[in-house]
Amino acid sequence: MENNVNQNLGWDDTIEQDGEEYILLPEGDYNFIITNFERGSFPGGQKIPPCNKASITAQVMTADGAANVKFDLLLHRSVEWKLSAFFRCIGLKKSGEKLVMDWNKVLGSHGRAHFKPRKYTNTYGEEKEVNDLDRFIDYDEKNFTEDDKLPF
């Protein structure tokens, strides 16, 4: 994936890309690949104090193209179950076992999850829908082709 973060445009540069059409996934179970992972900080909220967070982009391939779903994983004991579910989903953890989280193996990994549309109201008062990752599904190699299997 091309990183455009430090590619500033000049005032007279030529532009071409129109952007990708947003693909809304119907509710269901889908295979995905992790295409982006960034370390960050969660500022804290009502239930969880400030902590580290992993911002992740999962890409689901559909007949209409790629649907990108972004989600955060908070590194806090109160949501440790969700971290375990994520690492089980991508095949790095077995149920009930201890695991030192190896974030270097996350990018490029494959998993399966249940996705569903989520409605929200934007800052202009318009109702919109986005893809939401509802729950992770434990890794089962039967859900993947040879090209999709774990890269490690």
Task: Report pLDDT for 147.
Answer: 63
Give the model's pLDDT for residue 95: 94
Averaged pLDDT of the chain:
90
Model pLDDT, residue 21: 78
pLDDT above 60 for 100: yes
Residue 149: pLDDT over 80 = no
Has residue 107 got a pLDDT over 50? yes
CA distance 49 to 100: 22
Q: What is the mean pLDDT of residues 112-138?
A: 95
- Say if strands 28-42 and 110-121 run parallel, antiparallel, or are unpaired: antiparallel
Which pLDDT does position 148 carry in this prediction? 59
pLDDT at 38 over 50: yes
Q: Facing residues of 91 across strands? A: none
Q: Residue 116, SS3?
A: strand
Q: Which residues, 6 or more positions from 93, have their beta carbon under 8 angstroms from its beta carbon? A: 84, 87, 99
68/45 Cα distance (integer angstroms): 26
**What 3-state class would DSSP assign to 30?**
strand
Domain boundaries, the chain: 28-148
Residues 5-20 have a mean pLDDT of 79
pLDDT tens-digit series, residues 48-76: 999 999 999 999 999 989 999 999 999 99
pLDDT bracket for residue 15 (50, 70, 90): confident
